[in-house]
Structures are given as C-alpha cells and as structure tokens.
Amino acid sequence: MLMQTHEARLDALRQELARRGLDGFVIPISDEHVSEYVGNYAQRLAWLTGFGGSAGSAAVLKNKAAIFVDGRYTIQVKEQVDGRLYEYKSVPKDSIGAWLAENAGEGAKIAYDPWLHTNGWVKATSAALAEIGAELVAVDSNPIDAVWEDQPPPSPAEAIVHADHLAGRSSADKRADLAEWLKAGKLDAAVISALDSVAWLLNIRGADVDHTPVALSYVIAHCDGTADLFIAPEKVTPELTRHLGNAVNIRPRSEFESALGALGGKRVAVDPNYGVAAIFQALEAAGATAIAKQDPTILAKAIKNPVEQQGQRDSQARDGAAVTKFLRWLSVEAPKGGETELSAAAQLLAFREATGSLKDTSFDTISAAGPHAAIPHYRVDEESNLPITPGSIFLCDSGGQYPDGTTDITRTVWVGPGEPSQEQKDRFTRVLKGHIAIDTQIFPQGTTGAQLDTLARQFLWMAGVDYAHGTGHGVGSFLGVHEGPQRIAKPRGGQAGTDQELMAGMILSNEPGYYKGGEFGIRIENLILTVPKEIPGMEGDWLGFETLTLVPIDANLVDRDLLSEAEIAWWNAYHARVLEVLAPQLEGEDLAWLEEACAGL
C-alpha cells in the first residue's frame, strides 16, 4: 500500500507538471534557508518518495525519475524508495544535471523552485541542460505543494529570547560588528538567511525545526547597525519586541521578497551557500548588486565567547551524568536480552529529560545494535528496530539541546556476557589511539582541520583500514549540532571547512571510527574546545584542545597492549576528570558503576 501511495503521488505530480506545460521537476531536501534539518512542511522529498534521510534530491521527468543520495544512504534509499519508480543514483559520482542532460531531451522545460536551490546549483544545472537545448525554468509556486493535500503548515511556535547571560554578547554588539564589516567592504546591507545565523545575530531561538532551536525568519542587516527581521506575526511576542528594541524593525515574513526589491542601487552581501537563487534573482531584478560573500556571522558564531564556553562545560557535565546513568542501565538490562534499539533510545531520552533542562535532542539518536553499528548515519524506526543481542557491540551516537549548550557524544560498548573478539578489540583500540592523538595534539596558529585529520586515522591505516566520514565537525551553542566553518576531515575539492584554520573558541567533535559492513561498527566521540597553549620557549601562538565531553569509555573493548604509556596516562587522567565532575551528580548504584568504570587501566 505504501509504494502504491507513492506511485499515486508521483502520478499526481506529473499531471500537475503537464498542466503547467513542464517536462520535469527537481525536488531537494531543503527549505528556504538551506537548513540541514527542515520543518515538516518542507519534507517534500519524503512525501513524494518515502525517503527519510536528511540529504538527497530527486528528478522527475514524464516517463522516468531518479533519486540521488550520498554513500551514507545507499542501503536506506533502497529500503524506502521503490526501485520501480526511481533509479538509484549516487552522489557525487552522479549529478542531477548530467542525468537530466542524458534523459530530458532537446527542448525540455525542467522546473525548479528557486527558494530551495542555491544560485550555484542553478547555474551549473542550467549549463548542463543548455548543452542539449533544454531549459531550467523557475516556478512561482512549488508544484508538490499543489498536490500535497495534507501538507502541514510551517510551525506557528513563538520565537523566544536567548538571554544575554547565556549568549555572552548583546545583539546590539553583534550588529555593530556586522555594520563595521559592511562599511569595510563598501557594502550597504547583508542578507542573513541561514536560520542559525539569524538566531545568533539577534539572540533569539525557536522551535520551528526538529533538533535545532531556530525560528523561521530572515534578516536584512544594514551598515548603520539596524536590521529588518522578517518573521510570521504569530511568532512575535511582547517580550521579543522589547528584546529587539527600536533598531530592529519587525516585519511579516511575507514581505521579505518585496523588501529585497526595495534595495535597488545597493551593494548587498549574500552568502552563496545559504542564500537561495530566489534572493539573488530578486536583488538582480531590483537593480541591486548582489555580492557573493560568506555570511559574516558564521566565523563569529563559531568562535565561542567565555560565557558560551562555560555554558558548554555546564551542559556537558549535566548531559554526561544522564548518559552515564543510561550506560549503567544498559550494562544491567541489555545482557538479559529483551532490549531493542528503540527501547534503548527511549531510555536515554528519559534520562536526559530528567535533567529538567533538555529542550530537544540535537539530532535523531543513532541507537545501533550489531550490524547496524556499521552504518555510520543509521536511524532506527519501527521497521528497522533490532534487538540488542547479548555478546555483541552496541553503538549509540546522541546529543541534547540545552539553553546553555549543545551536546554530541558517541559511545561504543560491549554487551555481555562473553568477551569481544580480538579483531573487535584491535579496531576499537586503534580508534581510541586516533581519538587520543587528536585530543592531545598541540599545533601552531593557522593550522587547518585537514592538517590534523591524518592523526586520527594513522593507527587504522597501519592495519589497512579507514573510515569514510570526517573526523570532526563544528558544534553550536544551543544551535546547530553541525556548525561551520571548521571541520577536521580529509582535504577534498569543494568540501567546505577543511581549509578553515582552527581558532581559539571553536568547538569541534573528535570522532574517528571503524565499520565492518554487516558485522559491527565502532566510534568514540567527544566534543573538544580549541584553546591557547603555553609551551616553554615557544615561538608564535599555539593551540590545543580542552576535552568537554565527560563520560566513561568502555574498557572492555580496549587491548591494553596496543596502548603506549602516554596513552594509558591519558586514559587514566580522562577518567579521573570524569569521576571528579560526574560523581557529585550521582548516587547509589549509578555512582558505584561510575567509580568502577573510571578505574585506571
């Protein structure tokens, strides 16, 4: 029945395209802000195809269609999307532009929603179609919205104030810095369209998108320090109005496009990665000059001020106690049998909710038993739910959103009885050694994440194995769990963030892993804060990391003989710190378990 439903939806879309005189349509997972997570109203690809991943696109023609996903979703897409209706395509090897050029035919009119694609994508795809005499056409309204009968509306949740004592800086101060940046670049205004950038700039938060506490809105910031906030009127409270003050003009979200049209003759900065094609097109039509520049809030947002840094320490301590209670529960209940991926995820959420300050999870919990642990971005549901089998590996990657910080932690544990295999212990210990290498590295100012990435992989490489994901991503302050511009990853052409130098105040994840398809997976993830380091006789400025995440690592999976004395010292010092911070928050069996888990190697 499910696939028949999706077949009927595909037929309805094709009929709508025919009614409009169009030969095809491209559907991305995206919203008007190029968000990582999108609201239910924008889940057009999931509605059309059944695909539940967080990244992907589809292209629909009159007689054929294709769905494009990356390597994270190769298995998932085949489970969720009917292969009779869609060809499976893998990016970056396959591109939508190339597929359309091969299949659309001369004279074809292929439609796209300019509010859901970047300008760069539009130019590249237009060029690919032009080579075969076809045309990429912007639509005034999304044709899926015309046939999606029960499409939910955008969230009506009120925007909330993020107090200065949590933000560490006032919105007026941030806007003054932005104004100076505009003046220095001889720019009149900047369009701030990424939701977390709007939230950071104005010190506001919201509940419009799962996992990310943002409010659907845009900002046009001006060189005199004032700004226009475009947001649905039902989201505006008297408290928000007082907080923003006279220098921020609150306008209905529906007026954003016309406001762009009023910038004729102005030089306006727009981030090409977050400003959709419709923004560039509206500015161009108005006679404004759109200058493609990185959103000026992005780097400032990534460098956490002292208040945000302390908030992160506080939230990590609170979250660490909750995760520790979960691991103690898991160590008792999982060996009995009867627990599942879903029951474990629910129990972990309950422990976090019991803190009294959890606002949301920071992403869908990866609760992965046995072979599912070998899928780095696995997401459990009722259909995929596996039992947690005694005598196996269980991997849990999860995080919480708290008013003072955003957390992200992965722990891989052995579920008894029995012992892990020598292969499992070897791979776990090599991952641990790479994790320690990142955690303890000191490096000169100007070093990029790409330069550090090999440190995490070196011990796996010596065994002839590797992992396919990056080693670390940036993390926000009660904002996005994946936040740029910094990353620790292999340098690859076009991969954002790997050439960004690491700077004091930046928070990153440290998460090397190993995955044996169909059998088991391993990942150890802590969050780390980039901090200045003092070295006797040093020349220039040097940096290193402060470990933020404090939760025991499973000693059952460690091959002590593979560790150096320095690595054992790291283990013992880390767990002494875990015990110091978490013990005052625990009691009874939880405290006893923690003390045992933190014993030295």
Please tell me whether residue 246 adopts helix, strand or coil conformation. Answer: coil
| pLDDT for 494 | 46
Q: State pLDDT tens for residues 171-209.
A: 999 999 999 999 999 999 999 999 999 999 999 999 999
Side chain identity at residue 492, one-letter code: R
Cβ 399 vs Cβ 346: under 8 Å: no
Mean pLDDT over residues 59-79, rounded?
A: 90
Spell out the residues 6+ positions from residue 539 whose beta carbon is closer than 8 angstroms to its own: none
More confident residue, 376 or 401: 401
Look up the CATH architecture of domain 303-592: Alpha-Beta Complex (3.90)
The CATH superfamily assigned to 160-296 is Creatinase/prolidase N-terminal domain (3.40.350.10)
List the one residue out of 181, 381, 136, 219 whose CA is nearest residue 300: 181
Report how many helices (DSSP H) and strands (DSSP E) the chain contains, helices first: 19, 28
Torsion sign, CA atoms 145, 149, 152, 156: positive
**pLDDT bracket for residue 75 (50, 70, 90):** confident
- 513-543 pLDDT, tens digit per residue, is 999 999 999 999 999 999 999 999 999 999 9
- pLDDT of 305 higher than 60: yes
Length of the chain: 601
pTM for the predicted model, two decimal places = 0.94
Between β-strands 189-192 and 267-270, what pairing exists: parallel, antiparallel or unpaired? parallel
Q: Which fold has domain 2-147?
A: Creatine Amidinohydrolase; Chain A, domain 1 (3.40.350)
What average pLDDT does the segment 206-218 reach? 96
| Calculated CA dihedral for residues 96, 101, 105, 111, nearest 10 degrees | 40
Topology alike, domains 2-147 and 160-296 = yes
Q: Where are the domains of the chain?
A: 2-147, 160-296, 303-592
Which two structure tokens, joined as six digits, stand for 267?
């030089």
What is the tens place of the pLDDT at every residue in 473-518? 999 999 999 999 999 999 865 455 578 999 999 999 999 999 999 9
Tell me: pLDDT of 79 over 90: no
